[in-house]
Amino acid sequence: MNEVAVPEGILYVAQEGPLAMMRVERNGVRNLAEGFDNWISHLQASEEVNCVIVDLSSCTYMDSTFMGLLVKLARLLMHRCTLLIANASPSHRELLEGIGVMRGWKYVDRQVECSNWSELCDALSGKLNVRLVVEVHDGLVNWDEQRNKKFIPFVELGKAELARREQMEDDDDDD
């Protein structure tokens, strides 16, 4: 089986009063996980934000890690914020609905504007955080187990890998 490398994407975030916006350029993939998760933490802590828009007009591909983070954002904010997915292509809609991501989200098809796009900044995109990737896939399973049961083996393997790493770190600390 050949594995194809998917190019990384860029995540832009902005906040203007109660409105928070994110735009995904190219691919919504694992390299964005750390920055996306940091943004979710910021939104969760903010008492001002009451609407979150994720603009997919420039997104060409999404992986399960990215979609798991959309689920995490919805779980944490859907009861106090309006959550909008803007400009999703038909294939993105099919993908998002196919694994049940859209619970809590609504679609909107219109230009997403920020009065000052120069305030947009690249979200941090540090090293791949294995714990975060496992957490968001576990969230996908918990969100809709029937549709996302295919991720259960991945989550189990990921948890086993994390346990192995922790054991190795404990062993190193004992030396």
Rounded to whole angstroms, the Cα distance separating 5 from 94 reads 23
22 beta partners: 13, 54
Query: What's the token pair of residue 54?
Result: 């994720």
- List all residues 6 or more positions away from 79 whose beta carbon is below 8 Å from its beta carbon: none
Tokens 């940091």, residue located = 38
Q: What is the pLDDT of residue 5?
A: 60
Please give the CATH topology (third level) of the domain spanning 10-126: Transcription Regulator spoIIAA (3.30.750)
Positive or negative torsion for Cα 28, 32, 37, 42 = negative
Q: What does the radius of gyration of the chain's CA atoms come to, in whole angstroms?
A: 17
The model's pLDDT over 129-162, given as tens digits with 9 standing for 90+, comes to 667 777 888 888 888 888 888 778 777 877 877 7
DSSP3 helix / strand / coil % (the chain, rounded to 5) = 50, 20, 30
Rounded to whole angstroms, the Cα distance separating 18 from 143 reads 27
Please determine, for residue 27, whether its predicted confidence score (pLDDT) is greater than 50: yes
Domain boundaries, the chain: 10-126
pTM of the model: 0.69
Least confident of 28-42, 47-61, 134-148: 134-148
* Type of residue numbered 92: H
Closest listed residue to residue 122, CA positions, set 19, 35, 46, 1 = 35
